[in-house]
Amino acid sequence: MNTKIFKINPDNPQEDKLTEASEIIKKGGIVAFPTETVYGLGANALNENAVSKIFEAKGRPSDNPLIVHVANLEQVEKLVEEIPQEAYKIMESFWPGPITIIFNKSKIVPDSITAGLPTVAIRMPNHKIALDLINKSELPIAAPSANLSGKPSPTTFKHVKEDLTGKIDAIIEGGFTGVGLESTVVDITTGIPTILRPGGITREDLMNLFSEVKMDPALHDSSAIPKSPGQKYKHYAPNAKVYVIQGMVTDIQKRIELLYNEYSLQGLKVGIMATNQTEKLYEGKLTINVGDRLNPETIASNLFKALRNFDDMKVDIILAEAIDDDGIGAAIMNRLNKSAGGNIITAKED
């Protein structure tokens, strides 16, 4: 397949290019496009055949539900049985933005979108290219992250091009994404809002709207039936084996030093995922600084890019520092732990 590239200005998108990309969506094709979280791989959410192309291009398991992207409330109303008051509160506060809401689905939503579940995940992206593409298509667009299944999600055009050239109809080159992590997913069908996947909108943010917000048990139980993307299977994983080292920062740094030397003596190439506070402590070692522990949004923005950069460096082992899991730190640690496949090391053993 010849993959067409559209280079579009994210601040002032070219109408002709967006129109051409939207025609691909209308005709049942698939187009990768930027959002404020990560690049998405989009198809007409109401076309079963188009949706099947997403799963095929990504190599994505069919029991992993997709998120439907919309540009207005009218599209939401057609996709759901009803819009509860809790949903209105979230939409008024955070849409367009990096939060996905789980609704009871209407009959027009294909089962392939929802992995056979009675619910559908919907969000309104806060990105001009994404919104303009949806509007010009006049369709809700199903769009998981635009990467091969299991790999780190793409935050740049380069990542999408590496993974999907020749597998999809078109890629919109629209610059670097902002948040850097996929959207928060919150279920409002069970009465108490429940976070199924942490993201840029935090539990603390939602607590400003509701007296109680739960974290879903499936976040820590891989055998649970997934109601959201990212709850099942190993995700966000580079080719290298990832280990997450947790504990006090000074203990983490010392343990990483020991592990780096141990693996290096075995002839393995090792990379360290460090922060502003620790980078200089690893002098002479292969290190990528992902950001500031005191400003974890910087770490969120750089996380997937760092994992892919380590792949470019052909490392065998990545030693990643854990950070505090409050606020957006919960989303960062969710992605890191998924990328490590459960390889968590406590820095200082009792």
Per residue in 153-179, pLDDT tens? 999 999 999 999 999 999 999 998 989
User: Domain check: are 245 and 333 in the same one?
Assistant: yes
User: Domain check: are 275 and 204 in the same one?
Assistant: no
Task: Write down the pLDDT at residue 3.
Answer: 98
Q: Is the pLDDT of residue 350 over 60?
A: no
CATH of residue 277: 3.40.50.11030
| Domain-located, residue 229 | no
CATH of residue 175: 3.90.870.10
User: Domain check: are 207 and 327 in the same one?
Assistant: no
Quick check: helix, strand or coil at residue 296? helix
User: Domain check: are 198 and 79 in the same one?
Assistant: yes
Domain-ending residue, one of 190, 220, 250: 220
pLDDT averaged over every residue in the chain: 94
| Domain-located, residue 210 | yes
| Domain-located, residue 184 | yes
Domain tally, the chain: 2
Per residue in 251-267, pLDDT tens? 999 999 999 999 999 99
The lowest-confidence range among 238-242, 333-337, 345-349 is 345-349
Quick check: helix, strand or coil at residue 319? strand
Q: Measure the CA–CA gap between 172 and 238, rounded to whole angstroms.
A: 24
User: Domain check: are 288 and 201 in the same one?
Assistant: no
Q: How confident is the model at residue 191 (pLDDT cuts 50, 70, 90)?
A: confident
Per residue in 139-149, pLDDT tens? 999 999 999 99
Query: At how many degrees (to 10) do helices 128-137 and 15-26 cross?
Result: 50
Per residue in 274-299, pLDDT tens? 999 999 999 999 999 999 999 999 99
User: Domain check: are 47 and 188 in the same one?
Assistant: yes
Per residue in 27-62, pLDDT tens? 999 999 999 999 999 999 999 999 999 999 999 888
| Domain-located, residue 27 | yes
Q: Measure the CA–CA gap between 111 and 117, rounded to whole angstroms.
A: 7
| Domain-located, residue 215 | yes
User: Domain check: are 128 and 164 in the same one?
Assistant: yes
User: Domain check: are 186 and 249 in the same one?
Assistant: no
Q: Measure the CA–CA gap between 113 and 62, rounded to whole angstroms.
A: 9
Task: Write down the pLDDT at residue 64.
Answer: 86
Which percentage of the chain shows pLDDT scores above 70? 95
Q: Which of 199, 205, 214 is CA-nearest to residue 338? A: 199
Amino acid at 298: T
User: Domain check: are 112 and 205 in the same one?
Assistant: yes
Q: Which of 121, 123, 120, 136 is CA-nearest to residue 95? A: 123
User: Domain check: are 170 and 289 in the same one?
Assistant: no
The single-letter DSSP state of residue 3 is P
| Domain-located, residue 103 | yes
Q: Measure the CA–CA gap between 237 and 225, rounded to whole angstroms.
A: 21
The single-letter DSSP state of residue 102 is E
Which percentage of the chain shows pLDDT scores above 90? 89
Q: How confident is the model at residue 349 (pLDDT cuts 50, 70, 90)?
A: low
User: Domain check: are 15 and 134 in the same one?
Assistant: yes
| Domain-located, residue 232 | no
Q: What is the pTM of this model?
A: 0.93
Task: Write down the pLDDT at residue 62.
Answer: 80
Q: Measure the CA–CA gap between 195 and 335, rounded to whole angstroms.
A: 15
* Run of H or E residues at 195: strand 194-197
| Domain-located, residue 225 | no
- Phi, psi angles (nearest 5°) of residue 186: -125, 130
- Checking DSSP bridges between strand 40-44 and strand 184-187, what pairing results, if any? unpaired
Q: Is the pLDDT of residue 227 over 80?
A: no
Q: Is the dihedral of CA 192, 36, 232, 323 positive or negative?
A: negative
User: Domain check: are 77 and 204 in the same one?
Assistant: yes
Q: Measure the CA–CA gap between 91 and 89, rounded to whole angstroms.
A: 6
- The residue segments making up the domain with residue 101 are 4-220
Task: Write down the pLDDT at residue 237.
Answer: 85
